Structure 1
Amino acid sequence: MEKSGDGSEKVVVGVVSAPALFRRWYAYEGGGAFVIVNKESDAHSTPRKISVSAISKIEDASISHSDFQGWGQRLEPFRALLDQVWRTRAHGDFWSHMLVAEGAVDVAIEPSLALWDMAALDIIVREAGGVFTNTAGESGPFGGSGVSTNGTLHNAVINGLNP
């Protein structure tokens, strides 16, 4: 993490590793976001630059989330948001956010996460062209929850969660 000019902190490098998926995602400030896919037979794969989707309408969007636990007062707005979109899946945790960074999913939402769960997700999603905030719309991984989108859909998602 690095302190910016206004004294706030931001994540400047991040790595997410998923050996069971044969994948590692990484990003660094100003350098873009990448995925490496290593199959057992291919120990030295070339990194592939990733970017978020171009979906611009909430009714065309795909949302990935964990489950319906931990939403508290936002559960009903969350369910209403899910009713508006094209498709929902419950991949959950880090993978949902990496799918946003790769452009396979348009929105990922988690109602409760710790900083160590989100720090790498934040920079990877941002460097892939997306936006990462908490459910109240505050930028970065410091808000206790995580919402990543392709950027275009972010306001609609945050407004849907906070009617």
Structure 2
Amino acid sequence: MTLSAEFLARALEAAHAAADAAERVIHARYRERNFSVVAKADATPVTEADREAETAIKDVLRASFPTHAFLGEEHGREGASDYLWLIDPIDGTKAFVRGYPMFSTQIALMHNGELVLGVSAAGEYGERAWATSGGGAFVGRNVSEGNAVRVSAETRFGPMAAVSTGNLKSMAAHATRWEALGSLVKRVGRIRGYGDFLHYHLLSRGSIDLVIESDLNILDIAALAVIVREAGGVFTTLDGGPIGLDSTDALAGTAALHAEALALFNPLAVSPTSL
């Protein structure tokens, strides 16, 4: 079933309000440096701000959509529904803890397995990006100052192409892909590691051309996948599959560069299924 524009507009309004609520919690904790840090089972840090922000997000969303389900970074899965909100209250907790503003709140909506809405709110950095299926992608300082964005028109890996990489630990253990990455590095004009939300925001507005990342989870990229897609980009896993709940890596870029990178990383693969 195709969701109506009216429903998506209402869901987007709620997602923005939820992101605002999270940012109020996060801003107070961040500026006052008022939080303790503990390690989760996977050795990643978590603070009171993470938990409080996730609760604030769900409180807002539940007020508008009481029957929807949730999958949150801190409190896991709650409820059963065709509509699933994916929430990472602070994507980049390590940055938050260390006092630099490269972290964000990620909120996405999945309907029957399809990602249909994304909000990526980086309040301390001063930027927010958002999109809904068929509604285009926007980036701005806040929801009232957003501008429609598109990925670049870059079609080749040459001196004008810019590539950003995120976590690459798993890729480093994959000989074929690691060698392919090395070949890309030699061909492009710029390699950077902007990381987390930022390189996807930059990709969406045409400032870089390809993002390569391993060692992530769906909550890191769900909202960003919608934003990149609606900006005209292609966003898949490294093997060309669609982004889903089990995704652990990402390849995103302009259509031409994504296709070429995908062939390099998967020399025996067939054509991709893009998101």
| Interval of TM-score (by shorter of Structure 1 and Structure 2) | 0.7 to 0.9
Tell me which structure has the larger Cα radius of gyration. Answer: 2
TM-score between both structures, scaled by the size of structure 2: 0.53
Contact 2:213 2:251 in 1 (8 A): yes
Aligned partners of 2:230, 2:155: CA distance in 1, in Å?
19
Tell me how far apart the structure 2 counterparts of residues 64 and 58 of structure 1 sit (CA, whole Å).
13
Q: Secondary structure at the match of 2:241?
A: coil
Sequence identity, in percent? 35
> Could you say which structure has the higher helix fraction?
2
| TM-aligned CA deviation for residue 104 of structure 1 | 0.3
1:56 aligns with 2:155: yes
Deviation of 1:45 after TM superposition, in Å, equals 4.4
Q: How many residues are aligned here?
A: 153
Which segments of 5 or more consecutive residues in structure 1 lack a partner in the other structure? 4-8, 39-43
Distance 1:82 1:94 in 2: 22
Q: What SS does the aligned partner of 1:21 have? A: coil
Question: Which piece of structure 1 moves more, 139-148 or 79-88?
Answer: 139-148
With CA pairs under 8 Å and 6+ residues apart, which has the higher RCO, 1 or 2? 1
Q: Distance in 2 between matches of 1:141 and 1:49?
A: 26
Amino acid across the alignment from 2:164: S
With over 3 angstroms needed to count, the CA separation of the structure-2 counterparts of 1:81 and 1:162, relative to structure 1, is: farther
Q: Which residue of 2 aligns with 1:11?
A: 115
Mapped partners of 1:162, 1:82: distance in 2: 17
Q: What SS is found at the alignment partner of 2:145?
A: coil
CA RMSD between the two structures? 1.6
Structure 2 portions without partners, runs of 5+: 1-109, 268-275
- Which residue is 2:170 aligned to? 70
Shift of the 16–95 alpha-carbon distance from structure 1 to 2, 3 Å rule, reads: same
Contact 1:122 1:141 in 2 (8 A): no
Preserved contact between residue 118 and residue 227 of structure 2 (Cα < 8 Å): yes
- CA distance in 2 between counterparts of 1:105 and 1:133 reads 17
The 2-side partners of 1:148 and 1:127 are apart by 12
- Which moved further from structure 2: 76-85 or 103-112? 76-85
Q: Which runs of 4+ in 1 moved over 4 A?
A: none
- 1:12 aligned counterpart, secondary structure: strand
